[in-house]
Amino acid sequence: MFSNRIVNILIPIISVLLGLLFGAIIMLIFGYNPVTGFAALWNGAFGDSYFIGETVRQVTPYILSGLAVAFALRSGLLNIGVEGQVFMGWLASVWIGISLDLPMVLHLPLAILAAAVAGAFWGFIPGILKAKLGVHEVIVTIMMNYIALYLSNSIVRNLLTDGADRTENVAATASLQSSWLSEMTFYSRIHYGFIIALFMAFIMWFIINRTTTGFELRAVGFNQNASKYAGMNVSKNIILAMVISGSFAGLAGAMEGLGTFGFMSIKSGFTNIGFDGIAVALLGANTAVGVILAAFLFGVLKIGALNMPTEAGVPTELVEIIIALIIFFVASSYMIRWIILRFKKEGK
Amino acid sequence: MDYVIEMLNIRKEFPGIVANNNINLQVKKGEIHALLGENGAGKSTLMNVLFGLYQPEKGEIKVRGKKVNITDPNVANEQGIGMVHQHFMLVDTFTVTENIVLGSEPKKAGTVNLKHAEEQVRELSERYGLNVDPKAKIRDISVGMQQRVEILKTLYRGAEILIFDEPTAVLTPQEIKELIDIMNSLVKEGKSIILITHKLKEIMEVCDRCTVIRKGRGIGTLDVADTNPTELASLMVGREVSFSSEKTKANPEDVFLSVKDLMVKDVRGVEMVKGLNLEVRAGEIVGIAGVDGNGQSELIEAITGLRKSEAGSIHLHNKPITNLTPRKVTQSGVSHIPQDRHKFGLILDFPIGENMVLQSYHGKPYSKKGIMNFKQIYKKAKALISEYDVRTPSAETPARSLSGGNQQKAIIGREVDRSPDLIIAAQPTRGLDVGAIEFIHQKLIEERDKGRAVLLLSFELDEIMNLSDRISVIFDGKIIADVKPEETSEQELGLLMAGNSTEKAGEQ
């Protein structure tokens, strides 16, 4: 009745539906009308072209941070440091964007590349520590997140500016912003970055599924002993996985630095792009296509939520709760799998 | 005569296959009843039905004449059915008693009261001659002892009917003898035992009756006294089986592998191989006999590059391969059938087809400039699957879903197909049935006859005696004797493996 493949697709869908259902129940409990609430959410994400533009803008970094987490997970590593790698990518892209004077064909690719390299470097450190000394990547990446946050704040304040809270805008030659896309969507902050994000999703799929490198990374992710037995260099693959994962995260930073904002500012806390990436990867079952779909859902929820207080009077906190519920149900996919198999049994 | 367990017309289906097709099993009180069948014949399924892990589609189970519905293992426990699993379910860092009470801890004011339990364990252990120290930590005791802890676990829970799932697979010959004594003392105390096995020798030695199943069907139940191994084997496999592998005399040529004064440490940093010398010539099978834990694993890991050699040298064809990477060793012409097929031999989550190229994926035609060519990979995999009779629904099936014997055939296919000069086969037939063993032995002999060197590591003396052209006995990290199989006996080997030198063994 259900093949394994269908079960794997059903689980995230059921998780999302259950999340929305419980969200509706919570809205009811607090005295809001879930129908108008969800209608406001929908309008806030797709209601007019401005909202669509903003949704795409929000989805873009989510795809990349989701890919970063998913890529590491496919190699058996939990990269909690995507957040920090996003910061480093953001900083590097803006730095190149404001300090060089080059034609666009050079400047923009260079700024994007700098972001990838900076994120890769930030992933390389926990990678080499794990590979050579066996230090758990989760601990190192969490610490690296804080280092990234305060280091980039300090660089913005002391190196890139004279004590200001934000850098100047990146040169037009390094910007991803697009006036015609923006005009088409009533001056939303949509930018060319989504093309890069979709392209990188293809790259991830290609590396993981079609190259010997991907074969090795997946093998190491499943069974390090057998990989070693098969002559693979386990340490090299761990480092490589973290470097590639970090470069995806760095690109997510570039989306913000060169696209959405066009500058870097002092931050009092994390952007959550990286942390949300963990949920996106989880919901997307660590596949490239899954990540795109999950990122889209997260973007819709985040942007649509902004409209819920104004149109339906539902507080944004409630949307955060719905997102949390969806993640909860994905995380308890074991339970949903069990229920599906139960139905399968009875259906016979 | 009353039956203590009756399983009648049991039918259990899995998607695509009928694992049990109207099987009957009737066990008398106080007997040791063998359940014999090839890997994948449905033995484990049948026992899992009895133990409540699976629900049968049809059929009924009677315990002591009363019909019961065993919905989960707790019900089985209540009915006095206990299972001694093949893969032990023990917590390494806990003591024997802690492991035994796990799940039904005796509580006293919210704390676990072990004193009383310890007494009970000691008493049970004495009654059945198990000789287990209730306070010892699991990680400090031998595999044989750990198995006794598993037995105690079932006895502590009041089991009257004990299921042993291939209990001798992990034991040394001495430990097997002791286990047989334990089983005899258990039945003397009125317990009944179901022994899942495919080792005919054990059945002949300990069992009263034997139920044979083949390909999911019950073939029949025999009195062991009225049958013989040949009959049992042909009932199980469905055709005549030869026990001793036919082979001609070896024609050893040049020394191919030469190990000199090798020293290797294990994970804990303890020296396990202590100045070992070994030679294997092209065209001969050298068997390493020894009790587990005398440096065999470390020796093989050192040769294959998985573990660092501290001192000494390893040469292949007079070329040094000491401390090369596993890939370099492989490329020098070494194939390795690893001892632990799940840990080293396969990536269980990968399709079986992709596992077939685990050693060769990085070269043509399976990949070109770093891009995988799955068409070529699966073409090769399908060829190997049919050549080595790997039974799998498809080449895309995850390796995890295959039975142990088929996983092993896949590994052997992969390793032998690379036409290596040296094949290292570590426990190549562990846990396999007669049919698969015959096949694998034949393959190894074929390779020998093609002029390849074969280094065989096995804890089964039968296998060593049967297959080797020369036997090297390993004890405490050294080869202490080199004997010819036709000039020795199991007894002599047993003594040598226990560390007696050749002269002393000769005297006894």
Positive or negative torsion for Cα A135, A141, A146, A151: positive
The answer to whether A341 contacts chain B (CB < 8 Å) is: no
Pairing of strands B285-289, B470-475: parallel
Cross-chain residue pair B350–A222, CB shorter than 8 Å:
yes
Last residue of one domain, picked from the residues B173, B204, B237: B237
Asked whether residue B229 falls in the same domain as residue B264, the answer is: no
Residue B360 lies in a domain: yes
Q: How would DSSP label each residue in A167-228?
A: PPPPPGGG--B-HHHHHHTTS---BTHHHHHHHHHHHHHHHHHHBHHHHHHHHHHH-HHHHH
The answer to whether B369 contacts chain A (CB < 8 Å) is: no
Asked whether residue B293 falls in the same domain as residue B348, the answer is: yes
Last residue of one domain, picked from the residues B237, B263, B293: B237
Q: How far is B247 from chain A (nearest CA, A)?
A: 31
- CB-CB neighbors (< 8 A) of A231 in chain B: 325-328, 330, 359
pLDDT higher than threshold 80 for residue B40 = no
Locate the DSSP E strands across B142-216. Answer: 161-165, 192-197, 209-214
The answer to whether B338 contacts chain A (CB < 8 Å) is: yes
- CB-CB neighbors (< 8 A) of A226 in chain B: 343-347, 358
Which chain B residue is nearest to residue A230, measuring alpha carbons?
A: B359
- What pLDDT, on the 0 to 100 scale, is given for residue A86? 97
Q: What is the pLDDT of residues B130-163, one digit of tens each?
A: 888 899 898 888 888 889 999 999 999 889 999 9
The answer to whether B358 contacts chain A (CB < 8 Å) is: yes
Q: ipTM, 2 decimals?
A: 0.85
Asked whether residue B188 falls in the same domain as residue B158, the answer is: yes
Task: Give the integer Cα–Cα distance in Å for B396 and B95.
Answer: 43
Cross-chain residue pair A210–B372, CB shorter than 8 Å:
yes
Whichever domain contains B364, its CATH number is 3.40.50.300
Segment A303-330 shows an average pLDDT of 82
Confidence of residue B237 (pLDDT cuts 50, 70, 90): confident
CA distances from B251 to B333, B394, B449, B472 (A): 20, 40, 8, 18
More confident residue, B456 or B244: B456
pLDDT mean across residues, chain A: 91
Q: How far is A77 from chain B (nearest CA, A)?
A: 16
- What pLDDT, on the 0 to 100 scale, is given for residue A2? 52
Cβ neighbors of A275 (< 8 A, separation 6 or more) are: A82, A83
Q: Which of A212, A214, A229 sits opposite B344 (nearest CB)?
A: A229
Q: What is the pLDDT of residues B65-124, one digit of tens each?
A: 899 998 888 889 889 999 988 778 889 889 999 999 887 777 777 777 788 889 989 998
Cross-chain residue pair A215–B354, CB shorter than 8 Å:
yes
Dihedral, CA of residue B505, residue B263, residue B279 and residue B463, to nearest 10: 60
Residue B244 lies in a domain: no
Residue B246 lies in a domain: no
Residue B250 lies in a domain: no
pLDDT higher than threshold 90 for residue A255 = yes
Q: Which of A212, A213, A223 sits opposite B347 (nearest CB)?
A: A223
Residue B442 lies in a domain: yes
**Is residue B236 classed exposed, middle or buried when 0-12, 13-18 and 19+ CB atoms within 10 A define those classes?**
buried
Q: How far is B340 from chain A (nearest CA, A)?
A: 10
Which B-chain residues 384-423 have CB contacts (< 8 A) with chain A? none
The 3-state secondary structure of B356-388 reads CCCCCCCCCCCEECCEECHHHHHHHHHHHHHHC
Residue B239: how many other CB atoms lie within 10 Å: 8
- What pLDDT, on the 0 to 100 scale, is given for residue B243? 63
More confident residue, A186 or B499: A186
The tokens describing B251, both together, are 């024609």
Asked whether residue B173 falls in the same domain as residue B288, the answer is: no
Residue B243 lies in a domain: no
Q: By the 8 A CB rule, do A165 and A265 touch? A: yes
Q: How would DSSP label each residue in A276-312?
A: HHHHHHHHTTT-HHHHHHHHHHHHHHHHHHTTHHHHH
Asked whether residue B221 falls in the same domain as residue B328, the answer is: no
CA distances from B230 to B199, B238, B239, B281 (A): 12, 11, 10, 34
Residue given tokens 């090769």 in the structure block:
B380
pLDDT higher than threshold 70 for residue B373 = yes
CA atoms within 13 Å, Cβ hemisphere of A208: 24
CA distances from B133 to B87, B147, B172 (A): 21, 13, 20
Tell me which range, A19-33, A231-245, B245-259, is most confidently predicted by mean pLDDT.
A231-245
Q: What is the total residue count of chain B?
A: 508
Element (H, E) at B76: helix B73-78
Task: Give the integer Cα–Cα distance in Å for A242 and A183.
Answer: 39
Asked whether residue B204 falls in the same domain as residue B352, the answer is: no
- CB-CB neighbors (< 8 A) of A73 in chain B: none
Cross-chain residue pair B358–A230, CB shorter than 8 Å:
yes
Asked whether residue B306 falls in the same domain as residue B395, the answer is: yes
The tokens describing A333, both together, are 């996919």
Asked whether residue B198 falls in the same domain as residue B261, the answer is: no
Q: Looking at residue B401, what DSSP letter applies?
A: G
Domain residues for B199? Answer: 3-237
Q: By the 8 A CB rule, do A51 and A307 touch? A: yes
Asked whether residue B223 falls in the same domain as residue B361, the answer is: no
Which chain A residue is nearest to residue B340, measuring alpha carbons?
A: A226
pLDDT higher than threshold 80 for residue B501 = no
Asked whether residue B171 falls in the same domain as residue B264, the answer is: no
Task: Give the integer Cα–Cα distance in Å for B172 and B174.
Answer: 5
Element (H, E) at B476: none
- CB-CB neighbors (< 8 A) of A225 in chain B: 343-344
pLDDT mean across residues, chain B: 88
Q: Which of A210, A215, A226 sits opposite B361 (nearest CB)?
A: A215
Segment A107-128 shows an average pLDDT of 97
Q: What is the pLDDT of residues B436-451, one digit of tens each?
A: 888 899 999 999 999 9
Task: Give the integer Cα–Cα distance in Å for B201 and B262.
Answer: 37
Q: What is the total residue count of chain A?
A: 348
The number of distinct structural domains making up chain B is 2
Element (H, E) at B429: none
Which chain A residue is nearest to residue B337, measuring alpha carbons?
A: A229
Asked whether residue B233 falls in the same domain as residue B374, the answer is: no
The answer to whether B304 contacts chain A (CB < 8 Å) is: yes
Q: Looking at residue A1, what DSSP letter applies?
A: -
Q: By the 8 A CB rule, do B212 and B43 touch? A: no
Q: Looking at residue B135, what DSSP letter applies?
A: T
Q: What is the pLDDT of residues B284-340, one digit of tens each?
A: 999 999 887 889 999 999 999 999 999 999 999 889 999 999 999 999 999 999 988
Task: Give the integer Cα–Cα distance in Å for B20 and B49.
Answer: 10
Which chain A residue is nearest to residue B325, measuring alpha carbons?
A: A231
Between chain A and chain B, the number of residue pairs with CB atoms below 8 A apart is: 59
Cross-chain residue pair B362–A212, CB shorter than 8 Å:
yes
Q: By the 8 A CB rule, do B119 and B103 touch? A: no
Element (H, E) at A342: helix A333-347
Question: At what angle are helices B434-449 and B229-237 packed, to 10 degrees?
Answer: 90
- CB-CB neighbors (< 8 A) of B358 in chain A: 219, 226, 230
Q: By the 8 A CB rule, do B448 and B454 touch? A: yes
Cross-chain residue pair B371–A233, CB shorter than 8 Å:
no
Selection from B198, B265, B240, B179 nearest residue B403 by Cα: B198
Last residue of one domain, picked from the residues B186, B208, B237: B237
Cross-chain residue pair B359–A231, CB shorter than 8 Å:
yes
Residue B247 lies in a domain: no
The answer to whether A342 contacts chain B (CB < 8 Å) is: no
Positive or negative torsion for Cα B374, B377, B380, B383: negative
- What pLDDT, on the 0 to 100 scale, is given for residue B356? 95
Task: Give the integer Cα–Cα distance in Å for A64 and A119.
Answer: 12
pLDDT higher than threshold 70 for residue A224 = yes
Residue B249 lies in a domain: no
pLDDT higher than threshold 60 for residue B57 = yes
Q: How far is A207 from chain B (nearest CA, A)?
A: 9
- What pLDDT, on the 0 to 100 scale, is given for residue B507? 44
- What pLDDT, on the 0 to 100 scale, is given for residue B434? 78
pLDDT higher than threshold 50 for residue B504 = no
- What pLDDT, on the 0 to 100 scale, is given for residue B304? 95
Which chain B residue is nearest to residue A2, measuring alpha carbons?
A: B15
Q: Looking at residue B248, what DSSP letter applies?
A: P
Q: How far is A293 from chain B (nearest CA, A)?
A: 25
Segment A34-57 shows an average pLDDT of 91
Asked whether residue B187 falls in the same domain as residue B230, the answer is: yes
Element (H, E) at B486: none
Which A-chain residues 202-241 have CB contacts (< 8 A) with chain B? 210-215, 218-219, 222-223, 225-233
Selection from B129, B143, B127, B138 nearest residue B97 by Cα: B138
The edge-to-edge listing of strands for the beta sheet with B319-320 is: B271-281, B255-265, B309-316, B319-320
Residue A45: how many other CB atoms lie within 10 Å: 22
The answer to whether B71 contacts chain A (CB < 8 Å) is: no
Q: How far is B428 from chain A (nearest CA, A)?
A: 16
Task: Give the integer Cα–Cα distance in Å for B241 and A261.
Answer: 77
* Percent residues over pLDDT 90 in chain A: 70
Q: Which of B330, B343, B371 sits opposite A225 (nearest CB)?
A: B343
pTM of the model: 0.79
State chain A's maximal CA–CA distance in angstroms. 72
